[in-house]
Amino acid sequence: MIDGQNLPLDFAMPWALLLLPLAALPLLRRRREELAFPSLAWLPKDRLGIWVERFGRAAAVIAILATVLALARPGRPEWDVERIGRGAEIVVLFDSSLSMDDEMLARGAHPKRRRDSPLRKRNIARQALSAFVERRPADRFSLLMFGAAPFRVTPFSQSPEVIQAGITAAGISNGLPGTDLGRGLMAAIEQFNGRAYTGSRVILLVSDGAAEIDEITRQNIRNGMRQNRIALNWIYLRSVNWPRLDSEKEPEAVGLITDVAMHRFFKTLPTTYKVYEAESPDAVAKAVADIERAQNLPLEYRERIPRRDFTPYFYLTAILACLGLLAHRATTVRSFSR
């Protein structure tokens, strides 16, 4: 971990420091600045003169030194500070299966797979997530996609830009065959393994359902969620006017067997579970806003303080030294003949 206090200064263009020897130039005695005296023996010792002379040389050395250092672009390197914020550690688990390419349509309507459709589930989820990440600078995000296999896109990252790039990518990839939610969830849980518990932990599942999980994996998921104390939020991208997951009707009757089975399994998890049934872009945005309110527990996080550039101070120093040099010249005799 970079500790700013221990590294007070670095150079963005360190090779410019090769010019540092130039600062020795004013120390060389130069013939053209000498005054010829027939004899020096009779001259009294000129204390003030010696100091004025030294002042002039020092100003010259400083002028060159400061300019060279400024060229090397000194600054304080970026560093992290520990802060306590409000937020969470969130693993976004993004369903990348083929059905996510469908549009969100009313039941019965034939779903089309138009690439740029704003109604595409994938596009809707992407936009909502992207806005969510943008509004949550204190959260730490990790991104996974899953189809038949989990894709660990990024581990917990301090770089919101990279998370956004991952969300962009999740929003464009065409569907993957298979929906192995079990392995996806296990991979998401593993992201927390070995991490110190610093605040609330959430897996944010973005999926349109239709995934089956076998009994062994279910048990592993329960254990993992309990051990790592992870809450589960499911943004369920369902189609308009499908019955809700908790409705009284038997799932078999409405063709939602797998989705309802998922929901019932999640309700048996030892940690918090909440489902957001979102049937339109607005509903997705609302679900995200709701999660935003809920996940506001204190969280230790590191804020990255960007690099501070000190270059102008060094140029200013050089200017002052040059002014000093002028002042020195104003008060000295450099030649008897004019």
Q: Does 93 bind other proteins (CB under 8 A)?
A: no
Minimum distance between the CB of residue 189 and other proteins, rounded to whole angstroms? 15
Contacts for 255 with CB less than 8 Å, ≥ 6 apart:
none
- Give the span between the Cα atoms of 209 and 202, in whole angstroms: 19
If one asks whether residue 18 binds other proteins (CB under 8 A), the answer comes out as no
CB 294 to other proteins: min, Å? 27
What is the rounded (10 degree) CA torsion for 93, 97, 103, 108?
Answer: -120
The residue with tokens 């301090």 is: 158
Nearest-approach distance from CB 57 to other proteins, in angstroms: 10
Tell me the per-residue interface mask from 232 to 271 with other proteins, x by CB under 8 A, - otherwise. ----------------------------------------
Which range binds other proteins by CB under 8 A, 17-25, 261-269, 277-285, 290-298?
17-25
Q: How far is the CB of 225 from other proteins (least distance, A)?
A: 20
Give every CB contact of residue 306 below 8 A, 6+ residues apart in sequence: 78
Instruction: Annotate each residue in 29-48 with x if it binds other proteins (CB under 8 A) or - if it does not, as one string.
Output: xxxxxxx-x--x-----x-x
Going 173 to 176 to 182 to 184, the CA torsion angle's sign is negative
Tokens of 3: 């500790």
For residue 254 the two structure tokens come to 């409405």
Near other proteins in 284-323, by CB under 8 A: 311-312, 315-316, 318-319, 322-323
Query: Is residue 189 near other proteins by the rule CB under 8 A?
Result: no
Angstrom distance (rounded) from CA 223 to CA 45:
90
Interface segment toward other proteins; rule CB under 8 A; list 24-32, 192-200, 239-247, 253-261: 24-32
Applying CB under 8 A, does 123 fall inside the site for other proteins? no
Pick from 10, 53, 190, 292 the residue near other proteins by CB under 8 A: 53
Asked whether 124 and 215 are in contact (CB, 8 A), the reply is no
Helix (H, G, I), strand (E, B) or coil at 277: strand
Return the closest-CA partner of residue 213 out of 191, 182, 190: 182
**Residue 145 lies near other proteins (rule: CB under 8 A):** yes
Q: Is 176 a residue that touches other proteins (CB under 8 A)?
A: yes
Of 68 and 283, CB closest to other proteins? 68
The whole-angstrom separation of Cα 222 and Cα 258 is: 18
**Residue 126 or 238: which CB sits closer to other proteins?**
126
Asked whether position 49 contacts other proteins by CB under 8 A, the answer is yes
Q: In terms of CB distance, is 128 or 245 closer to other proteins?
A: 128
Report how far residue 102's alpha carbon sits from residue 98's, in angstroms, rounded to the nearest whole number. 8
Q: Which is nearer to other proteins, 227 or 332 (CB)?
A: 332
Q: Phi and psi at residue 309, in whole multiples of 5°? A: -95, 125
**With binding defined as CB under 8 A, does residue 62 bind other proteins?**
no
Q: Which stretch binds other proteins (CB under 8 A): 166-174, 226-234, 251-259, 281-289?
A: 166-174
Smaller CB separation from other proteins, 31 or 293 = 31
64: Cβ contacts below 8 Å, ≥ 6 apart: 22, 23, 25, 26, 318
Size of the residue set binding other proteins (CB under 8 A):
77
What residue spans of 20-158 are helical by DSSP H? 47-71, 121-135
Report the Cα–Cα distance between both ends of the chain, in Å, rounded: 63
The pairing of beta strand 230-237 with beta strand 200-207: parallel
- Among 7, 9, 18, 22, interactor with other proteins by CB under 8 A: 22
Q: Does 325 bind other proteins (CB under 8 A)?
A: yes
